[in-house]
Amino acid sequence: MGSAPARAWRGDEEQLTSTVVMDIPIPPEGTAERWAYDYVTSEELGHKLAPPPVPAGWEEAAPVRRIERPGRPSSLQIVKRAHKSPGPDAIRDPARRAQLVHTFLHHELQAAELMAWALLAFPEAPRAFKVGLLRIAGDEIRHMAMYAQYMEGLGHAFGEFPVRDWFWERVPRSKSPAHFAAVMGMGLEGGNLDHTARFAGRFRAIGDEEGARIQEIVCAEEVPHVRFGLRWFQRFTEGLDFEAWRAHLPEPLSPMVMRGSPLNREDRIRAGFPEDFLQELDKWAPESRGS
């Protein structure tokens, strides 16, 4: 992860419009761009769960590549609407608990893919930003492995339950690195600080210490991910204002889906959120249901 450098690159400048990936060349072998391309487009579950190491090379003068959708194994059932998360008592049933963690794993998969997507979509971004994206993708892939192992202990495997590509339906609307940092790092990963803390408590309440421990590990490792997003957003926009952040969220996203209840203030502050920002986030409400 690491902090962003002080170079004055305007990451909130709008990039080129979406390009169909078939119309541009595949990145050359031995480059980080090729790794990212292969990871996003692969239809092999094994590749998603355990990709090869990222090469040390980088493509010279890489073009914009905005991949519209990820590769999906035929065994993975994609649905338009996902089931509601089970409540605190429902997860006493191991099958419902496995289904919940299956959703968590799919969220991590989408996050890893979208880090790779951003590397390809914003080739003019600073190298340090792109290196950070790859590091975060590696963490998300490791989280996937933890969830997969946990599910195996419950007698289930990834692919047994339907999933929704909710992140993919929204995040690629990001027009610039600043928009991406706003929605992924500060938004969705910031919200996951709230969700993992809440679910750690729920797992522990039913006596599932392993499930609680995994949530705590993921939460702790999300802190530097969120810090990465915060620092780069601040570099790109020259500020860390709540309204500026909200304006960078791709429509129809709003702060409501970027927070859990309650806010995990302790870890959000550790990640770098200012207290006044958190106050605005906590009290924000749409002017209408259409907001």
Distance from CA of residue 63 to its chain's centroid?
A: 23
Does some domain include residue 269?
Answer: yes
Of the pLDDT bands very low, low, confident and very high (cuts 50, 70, 90), residue 21 is low
Residue 18 has what pLDDT?
Answer: 37
Residue 12 has what pLDDT?
Answer: 54
Does some domain include residue 230?
Answer: yes
Q: What is the CATH number of the domain that holds 204?
A: 1.20.1260
Check residue 28 and report its DSSP letter. Answer: P
Interval 104-139: pLDDT, tens = 999 999 999 999 999 999 999 999 999 999 999 999
Distance between CA 117 and CA 119 in Å, rounded? 5
Interval 182-234: pLDDT, tens = 999 999 999 999 999 999 999 999 999 999 999 999 999 999 999 999 999 99
Does some domain include residue 63?
Answer: no
Does some domain include residue 79?
Answer: no
CB 222 within 8 A of CB 192: yes
Give SS3 for 31.
strand
Low-confidence winner among 70-84, 117-131, 231-245 (lowest mean pLDDT):
70-84
Q: How many CA atoms lie within 13 A of 74 on its CB side?
A: 0
Give the 3-state secondary structure of 97-159.
HHHHHHHHHHHHHHHHHHHHHHHHHCCCCCHHHHHHHHHHHHHHHHHHHHHHHHHHHCCCCCC
Distance between CA 171 and CA 266 in Å, rounded? 26
* Residue ranges making up the domain that contains 210: 33-40+90-283
Query: Is the pLDDT confidence value at 288 over 50?
Result: no
Please give the span between the terminal C-alpha atoms of the chain, in angstroms, as a whole number: 33
Interval 38-69: pLDDT, tens = 999 999 999 999 999 999 999 999 999 999 99
14-31 average pLDDT score: 67
pTM of the model: 0.90
Residue 192 has what pLDDT?
Answer: 98
Query: Is the pLDDT confidence value at 289 over 60?
Result: no
- What is the total count of domains within the chain? 1
Residue 9 has what pLDDT?
Answer: 42
Identity of residue 116: A
Distance between CA 127 and CA 62 in Å, rounded? 12
Does some domain include residue 194?
Answer: yes
Does some domain include residue 219?
Answer: yes
Does some domain include residue 78?
Answer: no
Residue 86 has what pLDDT?
Answer: 79
Query: Is the pLDDT confidence value at 272 over 90?
Result: yes
Does some domain include residue 19?
Answer: no
Of the pLDDT bands very low, low, confident and very high (cuts 50, 70, 90), residue 251 is confident
